Amino acid sequence: MPCAWATAKLVTLHDLSIMKEDNEPSSGDSLFSDESAAGPVEPKYRVAEGADGHSHGHVLEETFDDDGTVPGNGMFVSGYYDGCCSGDDFGGDMVMDRLRSKPKPVAAMFVHAGAGFHSHTNEEYHLEACRRAAQLGMAKMNAGGSAVDAVVEATKCLEDNTITNAGVGSNLCLDGTVECDATVVDHNGRSGAVGACSHVRYPVMLAEKILIESYKVLALRRISPILLVGEGARQYAKEHGIKVVDNEEMVTINARDRWEKWTEELRKATGSPRHSAPSGMHMPGRFDHSAALLTGTFNEGQPDSPRNGIGASSTSNNRTEAAVPTRQRQSMTPETQGAQVCSVSTGSPPAKRIRVMEPTLVTSSLNTPVTPTRTSHTTGDQLDRAQASQDMKPEDEIYDTVGVIAIDYQGRIAAASSSGGIGMKHRGRVGPAALVGIGTAVIPADEGDKSGTTVAAVTSGTGEHMATSMAAYKCAERLYLSTVRGRDGSDVPLDSEAKILTSFIDHDFMAHPGVRNQESRPAIGIMAVKKTSRGYYFTFGHNTESFAVASFASTEKEPRCTMSRVPETRHGRHRPVAGGLKISI
């Protein structure tokens, strides 16, 4: 058949027909339908007239191969199909198949390792923990796993890493036992959680099991639990095949080191008898390094702080020598706008930067100094920070939980948190990592919302303050509705995720009546993801000195790892900083 120039009328890709040249439409027709009210806008195929009088089909670039070629006789150049083909099939059905093809789904992982102060000495370990967790979560989804599977896998990695206050190496209770909290929330907002859970190797796995079982109907129309605590949680783990271990397997040398120090300081402060060492804990010589003891008895996540040159062991009570990852030079760049960003490299390509900004929508300052000069007399499980650290220089002061958010290839979102709780707590204390809406929250997509908007948020900070302000849910709600708190308490629209986050910290958290008059310092770090039809909006903010976060999209080769830091000149003021990025889909 003789070659003929292809022509087409402006129709949807589902009803594309080929016409004769004498029916050729005029140039410049829109690529999109004006009938947007009838449903989602569909891409169109248009005909543009060339200088030679022939028509050249304008097609969507993303439907073609990387080299610009199109099945048939032509070449894709500058957005146009320039060539000739059969007048019967316009180059064959393959062209239409490519035009009809949908963009490849995008999965994403987001991880934080706690908000507080991360020493420069141990920065590499915290960022490496985030990087590894993000990679394992992504690998789970690449293998067909769901968002819930991914957040559980990533959180298990963090629980296994003794530098975090989650799982192995967590802070100890007064009597030297380890009790952990964890939550998993799926895309429907359904949750499973455990609190004050002892002897469970991976608390997040038990939380996941509770979530899964909550979808099942029990005999006699009983309702499945979504939160179990204490001995009930441990017994549930045994019944459902979740690994249960001796307490000694959960205790690391540094955790024991902190417990001994706190026990001695508490004895001096209260005149209490000396506590004996927890069962199963070895008593070698104490580490001669600066331990992070300032905030561990007030806040959730005092992590292990390894000596210089000593890596963070995954599972052993005894530390082993490990190579320190190569640390990149810390620098200020124009895009950071006031906050310092550091990355870590471990032999793979350098981690990409996540934009960090100092928002302008800040109307109040956080004037509490890093180390309080006030000294109070305490009893029970609370020990004054200043008294506990008179002879010790802090290395890491990490607050609260570790947290993970994931979006899978089906577009479903999920979130998880895990924590070992505050140091020297009473047995049975339940922290924010076990409480939905406080440490972890998901606002599901509305069935009538064509954009499919959904938000997940995980928090890190002083747990009791976050519980008072319902931090995770309130933050997620602000992002979902794109509002901030006005002067009279009303909701004011604002189209900036970073500014919404800093406004939340200032006005919904710090200015909350139940928080602002507290004696202890209100500290918080937030990591949130807003998923819409336009992309994934990853945002984080904190009023602490630093916040370790990472993001990893399936379109990227390596996670982006960032240590967000408040500039040195602003220490003591604690105005919130925020940052983030958009992942296009």
Helix pair angle (203-214, 230-239), 10° resolution: 80
Question: CA–CA distance from 38 to each of 33, 35, 103 (Å)?
Answer: 10, 6, 22
Report residue 149: phi and psi, to 5°. -55, -40
Report the C-alpha gap between 160 and 316 in whole angstroms. Answer: 10
For the chain, the distance separating the N- and C-terminal CA atoms, rounded to the nearest angstrom, is 41
183 in Cβ contact with 433 (< 8 Å): yes
For residue 583, give the 3-state DSSP assignment.
strand
Do β-strands 227-229 and 191-197 pair in parallel, antiparallel, or remain unpaired?
Answer: parallel
Report the C-alpha gap between 165 and 254 in whole angstroms. Answer: 11
Give me the amino acid identity at 425.
Answer: K
Question: Which distant-in-sequence residues (6+ apart) come within 8 Å of 353 by Cβ?
Answer: 333, 335, 341, 343, 560, 562
Report the C-alpha gap between 430 and 276 in whole angstroms. Answer: 24
114 in Cβ contact with 398 (< 8 Å): yes
Report residue 571: phi and psi, to 5°. -60, 140
Report the C-alpha gap between 133 and 417 in whole angstroms. Answer: 13
Report the C-alpha gap between 387 and 354 in whole angstroms. Answer: 38
Quick one: which of 115, 117, 119, 114 has its CA closest to 289? Answer: 119
For residue 221, give the 3-state DSSP assignment.
helix
Report the C-alpha gap between 121 and 306 in whole angstroms. Answer: 9
Give the DSSP H or E segment for 236.
helix 230-239
401 an active-site residue? Answer: yes
* 295, 401, 502, 544: the active-site residue: 401
Handedness of CA 65, 71, 76, 80 (dihedral sign): negative
For residue 196, give the 3-state DSSP assignment.
strand
For residue 334, give the 3-state DSSP assignment.
helix
Report the C-alpha gap between 111 and 403 in whole angstroms. Answer: 6
Report the C-alpha gap between 400 and 417 in whole angstroms. Answer: 10
Burial class (CB in 10 A: 0-12, 13-18, 19+), 78: exposed
Q: Which residue numbers are catalytic?
A: 401
